[in-house]
């Protein structure tokens, strides 16, 4: 039986004459940080102090002892699951190979060899600049040369991320000892038809002895099958009766089945492959209709409104992201009502831990191939690397039922048409051959059970604008960059794959990242941890459309920008959900951050939840009330119909009910009902607003911007209750927020923004609060106040 020996101990990192202990898996930055050689690049201006690291060459070394080399096995392989990125590997001075792709694994025959193992990493900058010199300049959204090598693009910085260009053995490395034959690849095709699950396992083997007769035996849920291996390949098929279907969260359960495949020589087991699979069907409905061209995911025959978030690498040093950290972040997503996670193209193919968690939680995965915001050369050495990495990762990720869509790139088709690339390229290659040629061919050949789309955004044809909202996927960035979030309501895209609004991270996150700094919107550390072009200017203009700008009051600025972020995203989701099934999904930019930064994230770089996160829990719930102009939209994504009466109240800001009515509604399963608001219920002027209540859900509509609303001075009482606090309003209290991390860095509140009418009470659960105190809690409560 194949024996694997992890190589985790005894590594050192060398640079010139210096040597220090190294952690594998890891990277140069984390090793230098552990040794105290560099400051924490996440703290203060530390990022700029470590910029030199990415410009240097680095070498990792360890010893392979003779015992590892001289075994009873016929062959020993040195296996790297991930090398970042350009490296030469040698053993006792003997070259084993040269690699240039972070997104691939590598295997070297080291049978009978021992001695000093050396992995010498060249600077990613040097490699990228050399490729650029050979192939010519290509345009990109950023100046760094990330499109010239197969490496995590956001290592080179993004409009939410630091420039920390890594190098290192970022995924596990091991020795594999084997005899006769080993399993080189298993490609599982999992389908289901009329309750019967079918599993076809296509197997490739590597042999030391060509003549040895080989068989494979596979089992799934007690079903067993055997097949012979002809040469170096074969296939085994199993049928599993009465399978339970795997469903996205909110639509059903997530049963998973263990698959085991054993490679045999006679009755001797040589190697074993084990995975978990789920039985489900997935399709993408892209048919033309009266509204354009659809983009609707269909799982097990059920058409979905996708409640999505965009995912970026959870740490700029991805080797630090553990299995439990993945699960924590993805549980947060599921708890917010999310059912789809898009892995964005400037990052990586994530580890098995990510997809395992999504399988268990019922989170659908949209997987971008790693191309983002740049023209990518299609010549060698890149073209071969692109196909090799695609082939490896498509097969690696095929077992996961959560994976439902392959996407060719992020914004590159749009960039070619709209960002001035076409004339600059003057006919040079830019990636179209990947997105419309290589990648769909690889997916069709290897993974025909899943749909592929050429890019996001993509209208499906060059006959239309790539970002046409009426066709396919749409990215809505005029809002935030140039327009108010009210403009989300100007159209109904078929599928909104990116949109969002910025806000700073939690206060405790800022205090940790900027120790000793007197915080201000434009203080040095705050500006350094704001990577978007004119980010603070856009934050300010976005605030000024709705609020009086709080000059010189950081705490108020911090609160209002977080409120504005939640309101902006709500404006989009409420509008688009109310237009299901024309609009079939929203994917918020973004769920998470890779460091402490002002960004579009709902969860900040320290894992703290912004008010936006809690707002997503309301927006992505199965049932949602939203006031859209003169209509109330009753959105029901539940499996059961929803009918009842909504209580409508036209109120004054002083708390008086001006007019009241009850209106019946009936929303079918997975459907929307639109109810007209009686004219006498429409609020008049800035002193009035409309409240809609039904079955414990509420929608509130203020017709005027906050700066024009004559809010009363908020009055409320705060008392301690077991596990948190209770707040009772004596006046209208709009957008009340407990910033629990101001009570203690570990404290968390179980809800975000809440609007209370006079006499109403809310209980806010608080965890991680060591010494509860009502006065302290009151000081951490923020809400709308009269204009100053």
Q: Catalytic site residues?
A: 411
Contact 590, 160 (CB under 8 A): yes
DSSP string over 594-639: SSS-BBS-SB-TTSPBPHHHHHHHHHTSSEEEEEETTEEEEEE-SS
| 778, two tokens | 């009151």
250 CB neighbour count, 10 Å cutoff:
18
Q: What kind and span of H or E run contains 541?
A: helix 535-544
Spatial contact of 665 and 634, defined as CB atoms under 8 Å apart:
yes
Closest CA to 77 of 54, 106, 111: 111
Q: What is the dihedral of CA 488, 467, 391, 240, to 10 degrees?
A: 50
Give the position of tokens 């295997």: 107
Residue 395 Cα distances to 26, 154, 710, angstroms: 25, 25, 60
> Would you say 214 and 229 are in contact if contact means Cβ atoms under 8 Å apart?
yes
Distance CA 565, CA 506 (A): 13
Q: How far is it, in rounded angstroms, from Cα 534 to Cα 556?
A: 21
- Single out the residue of 162, 166, 113, 171 nearest to residue 142, CA to CA: 162
- Centre a 10 Å sphere on the Cβ of residue 552 and count the other Cβ atoms it contains: 9
Name the strands in the sheet holding 181-193, side by side, starting at the edge strand that comes first in the sequence: 181-193, 196-207, 233-240
Strand partners, 303: 298
Measured at the alpha carbon of residue 611, what is the angle toward residues 607 and 615, in degrees to the nearest 5?
Answer: 115
Residue entry with tokens 């909202």: 469
B/e letters for 77-104, b = 16+ CB within 10 Å, e = fewer, are bbbbebbbbbbebbbeeeebeebbbbbb
| Residue 188 and residue 237 in contact, taking contact as beta carbons nearer than 8 Å | no
DSSP 243: P
The number of helix segments (H) and strand segments (E) in the chain equals 18, 44
Torsion of CA 617, 542, 475, 390, to 10 degrees: -80
Taking the C-alpha atoms of residue 372 and residue 346, their distance in angstroms, rounded to an integer, is 5
DSSP for residue 506? -
Distance between CA atoms of residues 361 and 711, nearest Å: 43
Cβ contact 219:260 at 8 Å: yes
Report the sign of the C-alpha dihedral through residues 469, 161, 526, 777, in that order: positive
The span from the first CA to the last CA of the chain, in angstroms, equals 76
Provide CB contacts within 8 A for 483, sequence distance 6+. Answer: none
């Amino acid at each position: 039986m194949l024996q694997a020996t992890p190589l985790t101990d005894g590594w050192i990192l060398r640079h010139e004459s210096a040597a220090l202990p190294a952690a594998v898996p890891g990277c140069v930055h984390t090793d230098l940080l552990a040794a105290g050689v560099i400051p924490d690049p996440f703290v203060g201006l530390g990022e700029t102090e470590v910029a030199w690291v990415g410009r240097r060459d680095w070498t990792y070394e360890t010893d392979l002892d003779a015992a590892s080399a001289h075994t009873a096995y016929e062959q020993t392989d040195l296996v790297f699951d991930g090398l970042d990125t350009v490296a030469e590997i040698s053993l006792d001075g003997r070259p084993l190979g040269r690699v240039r792709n972070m997104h691939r694994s590598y295997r070297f025959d080291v049978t009978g060899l021992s001695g000093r193992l050396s992995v010498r990493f060249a600077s990613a900058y040097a490699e990228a600049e050399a490729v650029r010199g050979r192939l010519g300049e290509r345009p990109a959204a950023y100046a760094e040369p990330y499109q010239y090598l197969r490496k995590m693009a956001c290592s080179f910085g993004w409009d939410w991320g630091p420039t920390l260009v890594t190098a290192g053995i970022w995924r596990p490395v091991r020795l594999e000892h084997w005899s006769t034959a080993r399993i080189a690849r298993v490609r599982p095709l999992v389908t289901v038809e009329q309750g019967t699950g079918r599993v076809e396992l296509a197997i490739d083997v590597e042999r030391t002895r060509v003549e040895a007769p080989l068989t494979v035996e596979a089992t799934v849920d007690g079903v067993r099958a055997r097949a012979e291996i002809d040469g170096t390949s074969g296939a085994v098929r199993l049928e599993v009766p009465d399978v339970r279907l795997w469903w996205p969260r909110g639509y059903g359960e997530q049963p998973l089945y263990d698959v085991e495949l054993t490679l045999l020589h006679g009755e001797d087991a040589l190697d074993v492959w084990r995975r978990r699979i789920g039985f489900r069907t997935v399709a993408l409905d892209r048919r033309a209709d009266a509204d354009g061209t659809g983009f609707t995911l269909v799982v097990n025959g059920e058409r979905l409104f996708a409640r999505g978030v965009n995912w970026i690498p959870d740490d700029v040093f991805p080797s630090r992201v553990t299995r439990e950290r993945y699960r924590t972040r993805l549980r947060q997503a599921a708890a917010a009502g999310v059912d789809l996670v898009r892995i964005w193209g400037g990052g990586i193919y994530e580890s098995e831990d990510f997809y395992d968690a999504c399988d268990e939680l019922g989170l659908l995965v949209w997987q971008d191939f790693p191309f983002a915001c740049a023209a990518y050369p299609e010549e060698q050495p890149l073209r071969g690397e692109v196909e090799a990495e695609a082939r490896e990762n498509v097969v690696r990720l095929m077992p996961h039922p959560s994976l439902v869509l392959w996407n060719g790139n992020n914004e590159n088709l749009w960039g070619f048409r709209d960002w001035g690339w076409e004339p600059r390229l003057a006919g040079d290659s830019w990636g179209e051959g990947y997105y419309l040629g290589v990648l769909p061919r690889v997916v069709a050949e290897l993974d025909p059970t899943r749909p592929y789309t050429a890019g996001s955004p993509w209208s499906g044809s060059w006959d239309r604008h790539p970002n046409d909202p009426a066709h396919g996927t749409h990215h809505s960035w005029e809002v935030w960059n140039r327009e108010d979030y009210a403009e989300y309501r100007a159209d109904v895209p078929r599928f909104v794959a990116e949109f969002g609004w910025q806000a700073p991270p939690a206060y405790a996150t800022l205090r940790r990242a900027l120790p000793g700094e007197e915080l201000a919107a434009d203080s040095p550390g705050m500006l350094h941890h704001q990577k978007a072009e004119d980010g603070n200017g856009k934050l300010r203009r976005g605030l000024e459309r709705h609020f009086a700008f709080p000059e010189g009051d950081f705490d108020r600025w911090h609160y209002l920008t977080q409120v504005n972020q939640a309101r902006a995203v709500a404006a989009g989701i409420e509008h688009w959900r109310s237009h299901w099934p024309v609009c079939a999904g929203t994917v918020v930019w973004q769920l998470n951050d890779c460091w402490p930064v002002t960004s579009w994230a709902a969860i900040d770089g320290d894992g703290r939840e912004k008010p936006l996160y809690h707002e997503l829990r309301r927006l992505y719930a199965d049932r949602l009330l939203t006031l859209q102009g003169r209509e109330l939209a009753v959105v029901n994504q539940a499996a059961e119909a929803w009918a009842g009466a909504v209580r409508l109240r036209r109120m004054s800001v002083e708390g008086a009910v001006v007019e009241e009515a009850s209106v019946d509604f009936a929303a079918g399963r997975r459907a929307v009902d639109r109810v007209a608001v009686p004219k006498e219920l429409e609020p008049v002027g800035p002193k009035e607003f409309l409240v809609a209540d039904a079955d414990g859900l509420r929608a509130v509509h203020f017709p005027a911007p906050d700066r024009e609303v004559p809010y009363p001075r908020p009055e409320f009482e705060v008392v301690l209750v077991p596990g948190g606090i209770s707040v009772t309003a004596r006046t209208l209290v709009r957008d009340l927020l407990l910033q629990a991390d101001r009570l203690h860095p570990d404290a968390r509140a179980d809800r975000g923004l809440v609007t209370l009418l006079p006499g109403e009470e809310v209980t806010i659960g608080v965890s991680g609060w060591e010494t509860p105190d009502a006065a302290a809690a009151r000081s951490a409560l923020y809400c709308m106040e009269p204009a100053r």
